Amino acid sequence: MELNLLLEGLEYELTAGNTAEKPDPGSIEIKNVINDNRKIEEGSLFICIKGANFDGHSCAGEACEKNAAAIVVQSDVLLPEGCRIPVVRVKDTRYAMAFISAAYFGHPAKKLKTIGITGTKGKTTTTYLIKSMLENAGHKVGLIGTIEVIIGDEHIHSENTTPESYNLQEYMAKMVEAGCDSVVMEVSSQGLMLHRSQGFTFDIGIFTNIEADHIGPNEHKDFDDYMHCKGLLFKQCRIGICNGDDIHTDDILKGHTCEVETYGFNKDVDIRAINLAYIHKPGNLGVFFDTEGLINMHAEITNPGRFSVYNALCAIAVARHFDCSPEEIAAALKGAKVKGRIEMVKVSDEFTLMIDYAHNAMALKSLLTTLRDYRPNRLICLFGCGGNRSKLRRFEMGEVSGRYADFTIITSDNPRYEEPEDIINDIETGIKKTDGKYIKITDRKEAIAYAIDHGEQGDIIVLAGKGHEDYQEIKGVKYHMDERELISEILEERKNS
């Protein structure tokens, strides 16, 4: 592929090495596009990316020595004497990589209906709800998110919520090949900040909500920066669908370039939920509700609480743009399941057990307060915290569980290079700030068995923190561990004994 075709739409300067000579980009043939110096080969276009721990610009000389066709840079590079490799100078190589990748893969987003979802909570669940709804109406939908990438029957484990732009474009190209007509994806604030989702315009952009999270040295410097990055999506989509009840929605939409629709419970939103009624049966928590405004229908969801209604409203708002009927939407809502997101696991006719990914204090508090609305006999919370992470998270989660659960089972999560007992003791420090009752059981299977064996009529038991994860990381090794399998093993053992 000719270099000039890959650079269409970008502002750049092209020189031969560090000289002032300007080669013809139409005469430079590109064999492949890469940003990993270990994969440089003759004919490559090597994009120099400056990362948190490594700067690809330091490999410019290596690209020359390996006969790369050209390099893309945003700052000066050191080249061997006499090297005349074509150097493409841009303002931001991550931004440029998104457009170059889109061109390299034939602009797949132009052949798909693209839906991007940003927000602190609800992204994963809402992507699966939308996928379920659209497929129920006859569409073939690809999915890109925290848990996995889905292309037809292929499921690919995700490394990042929003993949690097090259991978994102590659996935969309494969979706086009597989016959997909649309794609729904999670768009993280990090992904927006690092231009991973650039190179195309979303047909629909979605904002679920925002709370203080992902703020730190390697993420966002403060809450304003976090909000700004979320808001970038609404300068890159045609229609914006936003949670009209979130107090930060106006800030998120500052400078937006899209049409805007809203959903929520307030009277001034475009799609409003009314007539809520909670469903509570052993092994089944959910909500009935009606909608009014741009669409009028009755819905039932098999996830608990108001936040589940928000996710459903968002999915309903999207499905309306695909001409889905209320009947198709209602059927999809009732049948949609998301692994590790308030995932009900039937173990008894007496109490309810669920698995959820809540792995910080904010998410755990939201979950436990929601479950309180179902008036359980007891609310039992089992969780641990990851090793080599902030101790503050452990104290906070311990305190939240101590305040909002009737009983806490502290266990191991991913201890990584720490001792599980040290992490558990930190969580205990948080619980001791409350009057909450608890027990410490290091082995997670034993802890789950304890929860099941001591379940009482009307209890709700939450296994928090692992969610969709199917491993436990110990001393640098990921060992297979799926809570669903542990539950099955425990039930089988009880049956045989």
- Written in H, E and C, the secondary structure of the chain is CEHHHHCCCCCCEEEECCCCCCCCHHHCECCEEECCHHHCCCCEEEECCECCCCEHHHHHHHHHHCCCCEEEECCCCCCCCCCCCEEEECCCHHHHHHHHHHHHCCCHHHHCEEEEEECCCCHHHHHHHHHHHHHHCCCCEEEECCCEEEECCEEEECCCCCCCHHHHHHHHHHHHHCCCCEEEEECCHHHHHCCCCCCCCEEEEEECCCCCCCECCCCECCHHHHHHHHHHHHHCEEEEEEECCCCCHHHHCCCCCCEEEEEECCCCCCEEEEEEEEEEECCEEEEEEEEEECCCEEEEECCCCHHHHHHHHHHHHHHHCCCCCHHHHHHHHHHCCCCCCCEECCCCCCCEEEEECCCCHHHHHHHHHHHHCCCCCCEEEEECCCCCCCHHHHHHHHHHHHHHCCEEEECCCCCECCCHHHHHHHHHHHHCCCCCEEEECCCHHHHHHHHHHCCCCCCEEEEECCCCCCEEEECCEEEECCHHHHHHHHHHHHHHC
The pair of structure tokens assigned to 324 is 């889905």
Residue 452 in contact with residue 483, Cβ under 8 Å? no
At residue 217, the pLDDT reads 53
Whether 220 shows a pLDDT value over 80: the answer reads no
The CA distance from 90 to 73, in Å, is 6
Whether 325 shows a pLDDT value over 70: the answer reads yes
At residue 235, the pLDDT reads 97
Whether 221 shows a pLDDT value over 70: the answer reads no
pTM, 2 dp:
0.88
**Which CATH class, in words, describes the domain spanning 108-335?**
alpha beta
The mean per-residue pLDDT over the stretch 422-445 comes to: 98
The mean per-residue pLDDT over the stretch 313-337 comes to: 93
The CA distance from 109 to 403, in Å, is 47
Ranges for all domains in the chain classified under CATH 3.90.190.20 = 343-496
191 — pLDDT class (breaks 50, 70, 90):
very high
At residue 225, the pLDDT reads 85
The CA distance from 356 to 369, in Å, is 14
The pair of structure tokens assigned to 244 is 């009209």
- For the segment 296-321, what is each residue's pLDDT rounded down to a tens digit? 999 999 899 999 999 999 999 999 99
pLDDT averaged over every residue in the chain: 94
Residues contacting 51, CB < 8 A, separation 6+: none
- Highest averaged pLDDT of the listed ranges 46-55, 183-192, 430-439: 430-439
The CA distance from 60 to 46, in Å, is 8
At residue 241, the pLDDT reads 98
Ranges for all domains in the chain classified under CATH 3.40.1390.10 = 3-104
The CA distance from 313 to 291, in Å, is 8
At residue 89, the pLDDT reads 97
At residue 100, the pLDDT reads 98
The CA distance from 467 to 356, in Å, is 5
Q: Taking the domain 343-496, which CATH number applies?
A: 3.90.190.20
Residue 7 in contact with residue 95, Cβ under 8 Å? no
Closest CA to 117 of 183, 212, 195, 164: 183
Q: Taking the domain 3-104, which CATH number applies?
A: 3.40.1390.10
Residue 462 in contact with residue 381, Cβ under 8 Å? yes
489 — pLDDT class (breaks 50, 70, 90):
very high
Ranges for all domains in the chain classified under CATH 3.40.1190.10 = 108-335
The CA distance from 449 to 478, in Å, is 22
- % of the chain at pLDDT higher than 70: 98
Whether 216 shows a pLDDT value over 80: the answer reads no
User: What single-letter amino acid sits at 16?
Assistant: A
